[in-house]
Every structure is written in structure tokens, then in C-alpha cells.
Structure 1
Amino acid sequence: MNTDNNTQNSIAGSVKHTLRDNVDFMQRILPLDKSFDLIERKMQIGGRDAAFYFIDGFTKDEAMLKIMDSFFGVQSSDMPEDAQGFLEKCLPYVEVELLADFDSIVKNVLSGVTCLFIDGYADCVAIDCRTYPARGVEEPDKDKSLRGSRDGFVETIVFNTALMRRRLRDPHLVMEMKEIGDSSRTDVAVCYMEDRVDQELLQNISNRLENLKLDALRMNQQSLAEGIFKRKWFNPFPKFKFTERPDTAAACLLEGKVILLVDNSPSAMILPTSILDMIEEANDYYFPTITGVYLKISRILITLLTVFLTPTFLLLMQNMQWLPKVFAFVAVKNTVNIPLIFQFLILELAIDGLRLAALNTPSMLSTPLSVIAGIVMGEFSVNSGWFNAEVMLYMAFVAVANYTQPNFELGYALKFMRLMLLLLTALFNWAGFLIGVILIFCFVGFNKTLSGRSYMNIKLN
């Protein structure tokens, strides 16, 4: 913008009666001569000069064509004395409002709303006939369900609120729109059931959003999460649950939770949350009760194994006398050329390397390259003497088991806990293993979330 730092975030000034003054102000604020997508369209309506301001690509051409066509039929005698009368008699459209200050006008123009100035009116007419580029509401790749709906959130916040409103036709469903970021001015929707939400939690979230001082939500929901709740860097467990499924978000609303939707982000932030909420998924509810309970128990046990399997194996290999004879087959048979702890650490890094490579590999090549990488790391690395077969087996289980729970942040938090437990066990034997287990429970139990509850869902003072 052609404006200094003092007026960039807050643009002072009210709409004038004279069109020339309003046009001059808009030309000073907006870079109309530099930005090709900022359009100024001048015309006459009922014998009065008028000027449209909008962004090319955000406006529905057919709707604007019909609106302008109706304006050409307005006669001078039909023009009301004020802007309110113009809305009621001359503007055949639904989503319209009057704006009196330039701060709101510029914000609306940059958001895609068409703003109209008419000579003699001390108000700006805002016509919300915008449309945003959006992809289809396909089922998210990460959070799939064997049954249930196949739609998912997209990057357009209005579409996301509509997906939830379609499921909850309840007058108590409230969706408050807030604006975050001095420069980005990103739309953030606070969604809750008015008759079920914890009012103290809702007030806490509202206060944090109102007092949030950010220049821009550069990374969408992650920037918002770090702004409203600054977590301790040494505790990797996530404090928020994210979902890309509107049915999951609607179910959480019925449980009294608060949902935060950020424009340009295809996921919903759920507050408050606990460790049990983190490991839940939609499949737990789309099956009969006994099946859902079995899936939950299986996921919990597998999650625990991903943390404790390799450290327990390392502890037993350091204390062979503890290994019962019935489990003697788990012991390492071949020569250990590289200490077990370094084998585990190298494989942990290698698995992350393969994961990152898969993200940047074209889809048509990902399958053959994964097969080649599996053969090389599996058979050839064991035959070369770098790794033992038992170590490869347990790390393969850990790598696959990480995908049994849908939360990406929780998966890496568990990985860090496993690495800490491996290092402490290698350094201090059984004492280090015991200390590591205690630290893990401390990380989980004392991880205080936004609602004042820990991951174990116990109220903290």
C-alpha cells in the first residue's frame, strides 16, 4: 500500500459526501496503478457519478453483471436521498451493508468484497458477491474412515462452516468471526454450542484472541496456536487436536468443545483436548460399540509398544540374565559389529529420511522407490553387518505402528520419548530406563492445556 506504517494497520477517516474526495482517498491507500488485480470501475447510476472497487478473481462475474445491468435502469428521479434508501430500492442483491469508515472499507475490498461509492452519499455500499478459489471437499488423506462421510475441510472458511452447519441444524450453534493479524487480517471463526460449551473456557479463548498481538498468521493455525498458548519447548506433546473431518468437528461441538477455524487452513482446531482425544479417530464411532472399544484398546496398546518396545529390548540385551528362557529366541544371534544403541539411532534417522523423501517423491515413483529402499535397508544392510536382523525387525514394527494413530504431532512426540528412553537406557542401564519412564509420565501428566486440564484430564490448580 502507498501508506506509512502508522496507517497500514489502522486507516483513519470517514466516507465523505463528495465522490471525488472518496476516490482520492482510495487511490492514496490502494496501489491501483501498480497492482493489476485491484480494479477501479467508474460509471453513472441514476445520473450520479459512482465508482466500484474490487479484486479481479474474487468477484462473481455473472452476479456483478446483473447488478450493474439493474443500475443502468435507475433513473435520476428514482435515486433516494441517502445510501440506506438506495439499498432498499435500487440494489437487487442479498448480502449488502453500509460502511462509514475507510478502515472497514479497505479491509472488505482486500477480502474480496465489492465496494461502491456514489456521489452525494456519505456511506460506502459493500456488495458481498465474492467467490474464492477452492478445491473439492474430498476426504482427507491422513484422516480416513472405513465408513461415514467422504467430505473434508478445504481452505475456504465459509465452506468449512457450511459443512458443520449442514450437520448441526441447531439454533444454539454459534459461529463468531474474528480478525487476527495486523497485516494479514485473517478471518478466524470460533464455533461452539451455546447451551453446552464451558463458558469459562469460551471466555478464556475469546480473551486470548482479543489480546493477541500478531503481524500475520504466516503458518495459519500453527501461528494461531503458538500465539494463544505459548508452550514449553521441552515438552513435545501437542496441546491442540486438529482434524480435517467435518463430522469429527461436529461431534466435538456436541461434546461441548470449542472449534477454531482459520481461513486458508483445511483443518479445525479442537479445544480442549486430552491424550485420549488425541488417539481417537472416526472409525471408533462408525462401528458397533464392541468393535469401537476393541479398536481403541488396540490403538492404545500399539501406541505404548511404539514407545517401549525398542528400549525394553535394549534393556534386556544389556541384562541377558533377566531374559526368561521361554523368550530366549529374541536375543541377538549374530555378531554385533555396531553397538545396539547406535543401530537404533541410525535407523530412527533413516526412517525419517525415507518419510521426507516420500513426501517429495512424485506419486508415480513413490511405490517402486519404497520397494527398493525396503530391500536395501532390509536385506543388504543386515548382510553387510551394519545392522542385526532383530533390530531391523523391531524398528520396522515401530515405523509401521506409528501410522495407527492419525495425529502427526503426537507421533513425533512419542518418537522423542522413545529416543530419550533409548539414550537413558544405554547410558544408565535399568536406572536410566526407570528414570525415562518417570519422565514420560511427567511430560504427559503435567502438560497443561488451554483449559487448565492436563493430558490425563485432571483439573490442575
Structure 2
Amino acid sequence: MSRFSRRKRQTPEEQTSSKKLDKTLQNNLEQFKQTLGESTDIVIRTFKAGQTGSIDIAVLYTSGLVNDTIVHDFVLDTLMVQIRQTPLDTIEKDNYQLIKDFAMTGGNITDIDTTEKLFNHVLSGDTVVMLDGSSEAMAIDTREWESRSVEEPSTQSVVRGPKEGFTENLRTNTALLRRRIKDPNLWISTKPIGTKSKTDVAVVYLHGVADEKVVKEVTHRLNKIDIDAILDSGYVEELIQDETYTPFPTVYNSERPDTIAGGLLEGRIAIIVDGSPFVLLVPALFVNFFQSAEDYFQRADFSTLIRLIRYLAFFLALLTPSAYIALTTYHQEMIPTSLLVSLSAQREGVPFPAFVEALLMEITFEILREAGVRLPKAVGSAISIVGALVLGQAAVEAGIVSSAMVIVVSLTAISSFVSPSFNFAISIRMLRFGFMILAATLGLFGILLGLIILTLHLASLRSFGVPYLTPMAPFIVSDQKDAILRFPRWKLTTRPRLVTQQNITREDVEAPKPPKRSRRKKRKKQK
């Protein structure tokens, strides 16, 4: 059975928590207190309403998750003071409906009829009003809690472009997208995932632009997630990705609203997880991980040059250590004589072969990289730089490694930082060790074999049904305008063909015409 076709199992706790609300207010409150275990952050306020005080009302909310001003001024004040002047207990109508229609001033009111919905709304930050004699309760949207403000993204910084990034608040993130795409066809559907956490997960797409089959597939995979908690978008990414046993990511993530908005305009689908500043984008293609948001804010020629440098850095980070190992171990005849003599002189006192030498340096650098990430910011960069310089110089002076190997590892490390996507750079770091083993055993033939296997693996990958190497394999001429090269803005008039089959053509943009020369300049030119 596929992991996307599993049926959700209900635990005994879930089966008992979906009972209907009782008409007796006291019974509902006793069950509520018993289930929550007398938690101190849960506020239960009971009082009487009506001119004769014959209506028992209870207000329930979670302290710290609600806006206290809204609760006190628009809920408690209305129920305890305003409606006391109204003879609700003398009107022969449903008091619940009267209070909901004429008294409550909340913008979003939801009816509750089960205990499962009751717990979900109270623990999500809503204020619930319950009346004695009614088997329904109303949930008023009063959610507000401390959250990080909109700041500059820390992992995908740019020189030119917007400086704001997503936060951990779901509604703040959807608002950042709404501000950029003011189109009624921008549809947002939200559902809770996780039997314990009940984390809100939103699916965002442009209706009429995104492929309906991909939208249904995304919704289907999200509905089949059976897990107790979703704490970050990484949980969702790992549960909905097409391939598990591959080093390459098949789901793109970003904390930049402009990048996600650009993906939506191309027909992709965004997945926003409450509590995570990283938004997922599917389908994800191989070329997407070489594209940066800044590519579309600069001139086309400059963006193309930078993009070509990224592809060059990809091959340098992947193959530089393995190429050095293969040339110095098996193919010395391919090295110029003067360079070969210099390398031999440097490696004269090194007791290890080139593979062991490169492996020691690569592992040492990975340890330094992780140490720089985990240490406090004040000392993290200093420790990583000083550690690399001191260890590298000391290792050369001690005769453990050669100077050329330090240069090779440094070039490899710098090239790995060029990738705009952090998780794609991790893939390069993993594959580098495999190519080093192939180079140590088979030389350049091993590297060539590894490249063939890597290409075949990439060609076999899919991201929500779209080939991973699109638009190179299959080769699509019209999509080459924004793949390896970045054509001028007025040339980008079509959306990727395999990403979406609807509304392929963007708004037609005419090419800028050169200014007309004056007659005087033409005459001078003729003379």
C-alpha cells in the first residue's frame, strides 16, 4: 500500500472527544475541566444574564492566546452589562440565537456542536460562549499572541530587492502574499493537521493558473498525513515528497514572500505551515535551486552571468576534490610537468595517500562548519575562520596534508556557499564524498561513471508528476528563456509548460524600441 493511500486511524481519545455537547451547561463544564486537567492557563468565567438573572452563561478562553481587550470589551462587557437591559428570559425565542444575532460584535463567529470542536477552538485562541439549555456554543475569533515581527530573511539575503521575510504567524504570511498578488483568483484553503498539535496548514495557489491535477494531488497527500504533531514545514516536506531515498530535494522552500509570489504566478502551489517561517513550493525543479530572487531584480545580462557562475560553482563543489585525487593518483601524465614537480615536492613528507588526505580535510571542515552554526553569533564566525586558518596552517607545517590540498578544500568550501538554496548545498556535500571514493578506486573513469549514474538518477526523479530536469530533459525550447540563462523581461511571456497546462501565456510585453535618430545625425553618418 502506498504511503499516500493510508487510512487515518482514530484513537480511543479521539473517538470520545467527538461527542455532542450536552444541553446542561454544568455537565459540559465538568467534562471540559476533567479533560484539560485543571490547567491554570484556561480561564472559565461563569455568570448570569437577563433581567432576572435566569440565564447561565460561561465564557472559556486560553490566557496568552487571546486579545484581552477584545475579550473584556466586546465579549464579557456585552454579555454581563449590555444584554442585562434586554429581557431575554421573557422572549419566547432561542436565547443562543438572539445573543449571536443581536449581541455579539465579533467579526468571525463559528457554531460548535461537539466537544472536539470545543477543545480545538479554545486551545487555538478563540473565545467560546456557552449557554445553559443550548446544545450549541459559539466561538469568537479573538486570537492574538506574541510573535516575531516581519524581518529581513536570514538565509536568503539579496543586495537588491525586498527585505522582508515570512514569520511564524500563518495569517501574517498569507497577508504578505495577498499584498503582492491582489487577485481574487488567489485561493487559500486551510486545514488542521496533527492529532495532537492540530497545526493549521494552508494551501495557496492561483485558480485558473495552477494545474488542477497538481492541486488535487497536493490536497490528497496532505489529507493522508497521519501524525500526532506538525511542528515545522520540514515535517510536511518529508511526508509529501515524491522520493525519500534521494539526496536532492523535490520540494522547494523559501522564507522570501517575493520568491513564493513569483512561484505562484508561474502556476506552482505554496504550502504554509503555522509556526514555520519557511514556506514550501511545489513542483520543484532542478533549475529552481540555482535561481535567486535577485535574478529578477537585476539586468538580464548580469543575472545570466551570476547564474552561470552558480552552475560552475556546483561542479567545482562536487568534483574538485575527486578530480585532484584522480589526477595525482592515477593520471599524473595529464598534469603539466612544472605543476607535477611542485605537487610532488609538497607531498614528499605527507604520510597519507591523496584520498585519506582529502577525507581528513573535508571532515575537519564539515566539523568547523557545524561548529560555526551552533556557536553564538558573537563568536561563531570568529571560531570558524580562526579554526580553519590555524588548523590548515598547522596541518601543513606538521606534514599531515599538503598546501595544494588546503587550496582544493578551500575552493570546494567556497563554491558550496554559492548555492542560493541551503538544502541543495547539503546534497552537494553528501555527493562529494561518493565521488571521492570513486576517484580513489577508478580514477577519472570512476568520476565519469558517477556523473552518468547521477544524471540517470536526476532524470528518474519527479516532483508531483513533473520531471525533475525540466526544461532540459525533456527539452522545451520556450522554457529555456529562464533556465540556465535569464532572458530580458519582455521575453518572459510564457509560463513553464510542464508545471501548468492552463493559462500558459502571460501578458504580452512588447520589446523596447530603439530611439529614432534625428535627421542631422543621419546626414552626418552618410557623409
Query: How high is the TM-score relative to the length of structure 1?
Result: 0.93
- Give, in angstroms, the shift of residue 230 of structure 1: 5.8
Structure 1, 399-408 or 366-375: larger mean CA deviation: 366-375
Could you tell me how far 1:225 is from its partner in structure 2? 1.9
Rounded Cα–Cα distance in structure 2 between residues aligned with 1:77 and 1:28: 34
Residue matched to 1:256 = 267
Question: In 2, Cα distance between the equivalents of 1:363 and 1:395?
Answer: 24
Match of 1:58 among 56, 65, 70: 65
CA contact (8 A) 1:332 1:390 kept: no
Q: 1:363 aligns with which of 377, 381, 401?
A: 377
1:392 to 375, 388, 406: 406
Provide the C-alpha distance between the structure 1 equivalents of 2:450 and 2:118, rounded to a whole number of angstroms: 57
Question: Is the aligned partner of 1:174 residue 2:187?
Answer: yes
1:347 aligns with 2:351: no
1:192–1:258 contact (8 Å) kept in structure 2: yes
Task: Quote how far apart the aligned CAs of 1:268 are.
Answer: 0.4
Q: Given the alignment of the two structures, is residue 14 of structure 1 paired with residue 20 of structure 2, yes or no?
A: yes
Cross-structure match for 2:417: 403
The CA RMSD measured in Å over matched residues stands at 2.1
CA distance in 1, matches of 2:419, 2:389: 26
Structure 1 residue 50: Cα displacement: 1.0
Instruction: Give 1:187 deviation, angstroms.
Output: 0.8
Q: Structure 2 counterpart of 1:323, which letter?
A: I
Q: 1:413 aligns with which of 421, 427, 431?
A: 427
Measure, in 2, the Cα distance between the counterparts of 1:242 and 1:117: 42
Amino acid at match of 1:197: A
**Post-superposition, which runs of at least 4 consecutive aligned residues in structure 1 deviate over 3 A?**
324-333, 455-460
- Worse overlay, 276-285 or 429-438: 429-438
**AA at the equivalent of 2:334:** W
Q: Which residue of 1 aligns with 2:461?
A: 447
Matched, 1:105 2:118: yes
- Give CA-to-partner distance per residue, 1:144-201, whole Å, 9 cap, x none: 0111211111111111111111111110001100121112211100000001001111
User: What is the aligned partner in structure 1 of residue 104 from structure 2?
Assistant: 91
For the 8 Å contact 2:61–2:125, the answer to whether it is kept is yes
Q: In the alignment, which of 377, 386, 397 is matched to residue 372 of structure 1?
A: 386
2-structure distance, mates of 1:446, 1:149: 36
d(CA) in 2 for partners of 1:406, 1:329: 38
Aligned residue pairs, count: 453
Q: Structure 2: how far apart are the matches of 1:44 and 1:443?
A: 69
Letter in 1 for 2:233: Q
CA distance in 1, matches of 2:204, 2:342: 52
Could you tell me how far apart the structure 1 residues matched to 2:226 and 2:107 are?
Answer: 34
Partner of 1:157: 170
TM-score normalised by length of structure 2: 0.82
Counterpart of 2:372 in structure 1: which amino acid? A
Q: Counterparts in 2 of 1:305-344, with a 5 A limit?
A: 305-318=316-329, 319-324=331-336, 331-334=343-346, 335=348, 336-344=350-358
Determine the structure 1 residue equivalent to 2:82. Answer: 73
| Cα displacement string for residues 100-150 of structure 1 (whole angstroms, at most 9, x for unaligned residues) | 222111111111111110123331110111113211211111100111211
The residue type paired with residue 215 of structure 2 is L
Point out the more displaced range, 260-269 or 325-334.
325-334
* Higher Rg of the two aligned structures: 2
Q: Give runs of aligned pairs for residues 41-52 of structure 1, distance below 5 A.
A: 41-46=45-50, 47=53, 48-52=55-59
In structure 1, which of residues 423, 435, 445 is the aligned counterpart of residue 449 of structure 2?
Answer: 435
Question: What SS does the aligned partner of 1:115 have?
Answer: strand
Match of 1:124 in 2: 137
2:72 corresponds to which letter in structure 1? L
Most deviating of 355-364 and 173-182: 355-364
Pair 1:223 & 2:235 matched: yes
Contact 1:9/1:183, CA 8 A, preserved across alignment = no
CA distance in 1, matches of 2:219, 2:384: 46
CA shift for structure 1 position 324: 4.1
Match of 2:43 in 1: 39
SS of match in other structure, 1:49:
strand
Aligned residue in 1 for 2:31? 25
Q: Secondary structure at the match of 2:44?
A: strand
Answer whether contact 2:439 2:446 (CA < 8 A) is retained. yes
Partner Cα distance (1:340, 1:98) in 2: 71
Pair 1:104–1:346, CA change in 2 (3 A): same
State the partner residue of 1:382. Answer: 396
**Amino acid in structure 2 at the alignment position of 1:225:** E
Contact residue 273 and residue 449 of structure 1 kept, 8 A = yes
**Which consecutive residues of structure 2, in runs of 5 or more, have no partner in the other structure?**
1-9, 475-497, 499-527
Work out whether residues 445 and 456 of structure 1, in 8 Å CA contact, stay in contact via their aligned partners in 2.
Answer: no
What displacement does 1:78 show? 4.5
Structure 2 CA distance for aligned equivalents of residues 343 and 37 of structure 1:
58
Q: Give the fraction of aligned pairs with identical amino acids, expressed as a percent.
A: 25
Q: Kindly tell me: are residues 383 and 420 of structure 1, through their superposed partners in 2, closer, same or farther at Cα, counting changes over 3 Å?
A: same
Aligned counterparts, 1:132-143, within 5 A: 132-143=145-156
SS at match of 1:74: helix
